[in-house]
Amino acid sequence: NAGVTQTPKFQVLKTGQSMTLQCAQDMNHNSMYWYRQDPGMGLRLIYYSASEGTTDKGEVPNGYNVSRLNKREFSLRLESAAPSQTSVYFCASSAHSGEETQYFGPGTRLLVL
Amino acid sequence: GENVEQHPSTLSVQEGDSAVIKCTYSDSASNYFPWYKQELGKRPQLIIDIRSNVGEKKDQRIAVTLNKTAKHFSLHITETQPEDSAVYFCAPPEGGSTLGRLYFGRGTQLTVWP
């Protein structure tokens, strides 16, 4: 099993460009999450999907949209990138929502110039 | 939501010494208390967790203790080794929540010197 996979690994964007970060899991998990990690800030939740067909905002949703394409895939879209969105983005999944272990992908490093 | 604080933010110990990291939280309804480890350039991974019906849990050199009255839980690492060097995060969920949200602390950078 590959676990949680993310593409791309690294991306450079210019201010105003758009892009989609892809995430897939092969563990048959119901819940999926997108986090961003900035130095000294821990992991902050952007959006999550407790189950297929549902999505909810986390702490820092502004400037992002998500799509739960199916049970396996959860994408994060930046419509008009800003330098403040320079960060490392992690996708994660868990069997169910609530008090469960979350399994993380390898991360996507995004630089917005 | 939860208000989570971790202390200390950095910790340096000599190989073989013990390390303790404390996490305080605000939601008295929380019932699940995990610790994640993130090595440099890697993804976070769960290393140990505890539920509110027990006060302590051990797994070889690591342990977690819980004080629900005072609303804090701690990670204990004994006989530290250089490979324990990493950032450690506590991540209690919103109490009683079925929505899957974990609230990550800002992390503790542990450095173990050989």
Q: pLDDT tens digits for A46-69?
A: 999 988 999 999 989 999 999 999
- pLDDT at B97 > cutoff 80: no
Whole-number pLDDT of residue B3 = 85
Size of interface A-B (CB pairs under 8 A): 58
Partners of B99 on chain A (C-beta within 8 Å) are 48, 50, 56, 97-98
Q: Which residues of B touch A (CB under 8 A)?
A: 1, 31-32, 34, 42-46, 49, 51, 89, 91, 93, 97-102, 104-107
Enumerate residues 6+ apart whose C-beta is below 8 A from B69. none
Please compute the mean of the pLDDT values over residues B88-108 and round it to a whole number: 81
Backbone φ/ψ region at A85: left (φ over 0), alpha (ψ -120 to 50), beta: alpha
Rounded Cα distance between B64 and B34, Å, is: 9
Q: pLDDT > 70: what percent of chain B?
A: 94
Please compute the mean of the pLDDT values over residues B42-51 and round it to a whole number: 95
Are the CB atoms for B85 and B110 separated by under 8 Å? yes
Residue A61 is which amino acid? P
Of the residues B43, B50, B64, the best mutation for testing chain A's interface (the one with the most A CB atoms within 10 Å of its CB) is B43
Q: How many beta carbons lie within 10 A of that of residue B86, not counting itself?
A: 21
